[in-house]
Structure 1
Amino acid sequence: MTPLKKANYLSLPDSRDIDHYLFTLAEHSDRARMVHIGTSAGGRPVHALLMSSSPAFMRHYRPEPGKATVLVLAAQHGNEPAGAEAVQQLAQELTLGRHEALLKRLNLVLVAMANPDGRDLSRRHNANDENTNIDYVALNAGETRLLVNTLQRFDPDLVYDAHESGIWKRVLTREQGWLTDVEVQFEVGNNPNIDARLQDYTAGFLLPALISKVSEAGVRAEAYRGEITQLGQRVARGGLGITNLRNYAAMQGRVSVLVESRLDNKSGSYATPRNIAERVRKQHLALLSLLQLAATDSRRLMAVSRQARAQWQSAGADRSLSMDVHFARNHAEPEVRLPLVRLSSGERRYHEFVNYNAIVAGEQVLLPPAYAITRERERMARWLERHHIRFMTLRAPQDVRAERILIEALQPQPRIKPGVREKWRVQARTEAGELRLGPGDILVPMDQPLGPLAAMMLDPRSANALYQEAGWRWLKPGPFPVFPVNPGKARYSTSQDSGDLVTAAP
Structure 2
Amino acid sequence: MSAVFLLLCSSLVWAQSIPPTPFEQTKKQSLPDSRTIDDYLMTLDTLSPRARRVALGTSAGGRPIPALLLSESPSFLQGAVGEQHKPTVMMFGSQHGNEPSGAEAMQQLARELVAGEHPELLRRLNLVLVAMANPDGRDLSSRHNANNDNTNIDYVALQAGETRLLVDALHRFDPDVVFDAHESGIWKRVLTREQGWMTDVEAQFDMGNNPNIDGRLREYTEHTLLPALIERVSSAGLAAVRYRGEITSLDQAVSRGGLGITNLRNYAAMQGRVSILVENRLDNKAGVYATPRNIAERVRKQHLSMLAMLQLVADEAEPLLALSHRARQRWQSADADRTLWMGVSFGTNREQPEITLPLVRMADGHKQLHRFRNREAIVTREPVPLAAAYAVTRERERMARWLAHHHITFETVSEPRQLLVDRLEITAVRKQSEARPGVREKVKPEVRVNRQSVTLQRGDLLVPMGQPLAPLAALMLDPRSANALYQEEGWSWLQPGAFPVFPVVEY
> TM-score band (shorter)?
over 0.9
**1:327 corresponds to 2:340:** no
Q: Which residue of 2 aligns with 1:360?
A: 379
**Closer, same or farther: CA 389–418 of 1 in aligned 2, 3 Å:** closer
Q: Which residue of 1 aligns with 2:365?
A: 346
**1:257 corresponds to 2:295:** no
Q: Which residue of 1 aligns with 2:183?
A: 164
Post-superposition offset of 1:234: 1.1
Identify which of 472, 481, 489 aligns with 2:491. 472
Question: What percent identity do the matched residue pairs reach?
Answer: 64
CA contact (8 A) 1:324 1:425 kept: no
Q: Which residue of 2 aligns with 1:501?
A: none
Post-superposition offset of 1:300: 1.4
Q: Which residue of 1 aligns with 2:217?
A: 198
Runs of 5+ in structure 1 lacking a partner? Answer: 493-506
CA distance in 1 between counterparts of 2:37 and 2:273 reads 28
Q: Which residue of 2 aligns with 1:120?
A: 139
Post-superposition offset of 1:63: 1.6
CA contact (8 A) 1:195 1:312 kept: no
Q: Which residue of 1 aligns with 2:26?
A: 7
CA contact (8 A) 1:234 1:356 kept: yes
**Closer, same or farther: CA 439–189 of 1 in aligned 2, 3 Å:** same
Identify which of 469, 481, 499 aligns with 2:500. 481
Paired residues, what number?
487
- Runs (4+) of structure 1 exceeding 6 A deviation are 416-420
Deviates more, 1:425-434 or 1:186-195: 425-434
Q: Which residue of 2 aligns with 1:287?
A: 306
CA distance in 1 between counterparts of 2:379 and 2:439 reads 18
Identify which of 136, 154, 159 aligns with 2:173. 154
CA contact (8 A) 1:3 1:21 kept: yes
CA contact (8 A) 2:440 2:483 kept: no
Q: Deviations over 1:400-441 (max 9, x none)?
A: 000011223333457479998552233222111101100011
SS in 1 for 2:224: helix
Q: Deviations over 1:14-34 (max 9, x none)?
A: 101111111111211100000
SS in 1 for 2:358: strand
CA distance in 1 between counterparts of 2:205 and 2:437 reads 22
SS in 2 for 1:201: helix
CA contact (8 A) 1:197 1:313 kept: no
Q: Deviations over 1:448-469 (max 9, x none)?
A: 0111110000000000000000
Deviates more, 1:417-426 or 1:292-301: 417-426
CA distance in 2 between counterparts of 1:203 and 1:278 reads 28
CA distance in 1 between counterparts of 2:437 and 2:349 reads 20
SS in 2 for 1:378: helix
Q: Which residue of 1 aligns with 2:6?
A: none
Letter in 1 for 2:91: V
SS in 1 for 2:142: coil
**Closer, same or farther: CA 412–231 of 1 in aligned 2, 3 Å:** farther
Post-superposition offset of 1:478: 2.3
CA contact (8 A) 2:257 2:438 kept: no
Deviates more, 1:273-282 or 1:421-430: 421-430
Identify which of 204, 207, 213 aligns with 2:226. 207
CA distance in 2 between counterparts of 1:184 and 1:48 reads 25
**Closer, same or farther: CA 308–135 of 1 in aligned 2, 3 Å:** same
CA contact (8 A) 2:204 2:240 kept: yes
Q: Which residue of 2 aligns with 1:92?
A: 111
Counterpart mapping for 1:483-502 below 5 A: 483-487=502-506, 492=507
Letter in 2 for 1:24: T
Identify which of 68, 71, 74 aligns with 2:87. 68
Q: Which residue of 1 aligns with 2:192?
A: 173
**Closer, same or farther: CA 447–308 of 1 in aligned 2, 3 Å:** same
CA contact (8 A) 1:233 1:416 kept: no
SS in 2 for 1:350: strand
CA contact (8 A) 2:259 2:439 kept: no
CA contact (8 A) 1:196 1:313 kept: no
SS in 2 for 1:22: helix
SS in 1 for 2:54: strand
Identify which of 233, 244, 249 aligns with 2:263. 244
CA distance in 2 between counterparts of 1:361 and 1:313 reads 24
Please give the TM-score of this superposition, normalised by the length of structure 1: 0.94
**Closer, same or farther: CA 306–422 of 1 in aligned 2, 3 Å:** closer
Q: Which residue of 2 aligns with 1:502?
A: none
Identify which of 422, 440, 446 aligns with 1:403. 422
CA distance in 2 between counterparts of 1:365 and 1:226 reads 29
CA distance in 2 between counterparts of 1:262 and 1:335 reads 24
CA contact (8 A) 1:214 1:286 kept: yes
CA distance in 2 between counterparts of 1:231 and 1:398 reads 58
Q: Deviations over 1:177-226 (max 9, x none)?
A: 11111110100000000011111111111111111110111111010001
**1:79 corresponds to 2:106:** no
SS in 2 for 1:259: strand
Q: Which residue of 1 aligns with 2:61?
A: 42
**Closer, same or farther: CA 424–417 of 1 in aligned 2, 3 Å:** closer
**Closer, same or farther: CA 228–407 of 1 in aligned 2, 3 Å:** same
Q: Deviations over 1:227-255 (max 9, x none)?
A: 11111011110000000000000001110
Identify which of 36, 42, 48 aligns with 1:17. 36
Letter in 2 for 1:54: S
Q: Which residue of 1 aligns with 2:320?
A: 301
Runs of 5+ in structure 2 lacking a partner? Answer: 1-19
Q: Which residue of 2 aligns with 1:183?
A: 202
Deviates more, 1:9-18 or 1:73-82: 9-18
CA distance in 1 between counterparts of 2:433 and 2:352 reads 20
CA distance in 2 between counterparts of 1:308 and 1:211 reads 24
CA distance in 2 between counterparts of 1:386 and 1:139 reads 8
SS in 1 for 2:280: strand
Post-superposition offset of 1:9: 1.4
Identify which of 75, 78, 81 aligns with 1:59. 78
CA distance in 2 between counterparts of 1:415 and 1:253 reads 31
CA distance in 2 between counterparts of 1:235 and 1:297 reads 31
SS in 1 for 2:322: helix
CA contact (8 A) 1:234 1:417 kept: no
Counterpart mapping for 1:451-470 below 5 A: 451-470=470-489
Q: Deviations over 1:21-70 (max 9, x none)?
A: 11111211100000001100000010000000011111110221121111
CA distance in 2 between counterparts of 1:478 and 1:428 reads 9
**1:448 corresponds to 2:467:** yes
Letter in 2 for 1:122: S
